[in-house]
């Protein structure tokens, strides 16, 4: 699938319209970096094995409060939610909820 995305010659796995070449390149780069970072994390863990990464059921939300001034709309707090598939370590050591 990564080769299909690198080549960007049509829909990935036959689904929908082709993605924009920049999105395909970004997705491949992010995936490769994630896999490399996860490998480094695995090797650094006690016994050379970190807990497995598993899908997360709950949505994640980060809250940011403006400390000094409200924004142009008068908002003093921002909430950022996630979408798409989310993953975390099975033992919760990465701090993400399950």
| pTM assigned to the model | 0.49
Q: Whose CA is closest to 88, among 58, 54, 42?
A: 54
- In 1-98, where do the E strands start and end? 53-55, 61-65, 77-81, 87-89
pLDDT digits (tens, 9 = 90+) for 1-47: 677 666 665 566 666 777 777 887 888 888 888 888 888 888 888 88
Q: How many residues make up the chain in this entry?
A: 98
- Which stretches of 1-98 are DSSP H helices? 2-7, 21-44
Within 10 angstroms of residue 5's Cβ, the number of other Cβ atoms is 19
């Amino acid at each position: 699938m990564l080769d299909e995305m690198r080549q960007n010659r049509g829909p990935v796995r036959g689904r929908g319209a082709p993605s924009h070449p920049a999105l395909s390149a970004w997705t491949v780069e992010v995936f490769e970096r994630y896999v490399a970072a996860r490998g480094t994390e695995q090797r650094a863990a006690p016994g050379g094995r970190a807990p497995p990464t598993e899908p997360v059921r709950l949505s994640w939300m980060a809250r940011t409060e403006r400390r000094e001034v409200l924004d142009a709309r008068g908002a003093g707090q921002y909430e950022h939610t996630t979408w798409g598939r989310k993953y975390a370590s099975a033992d919760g050591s990465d701090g993400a909820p399950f």
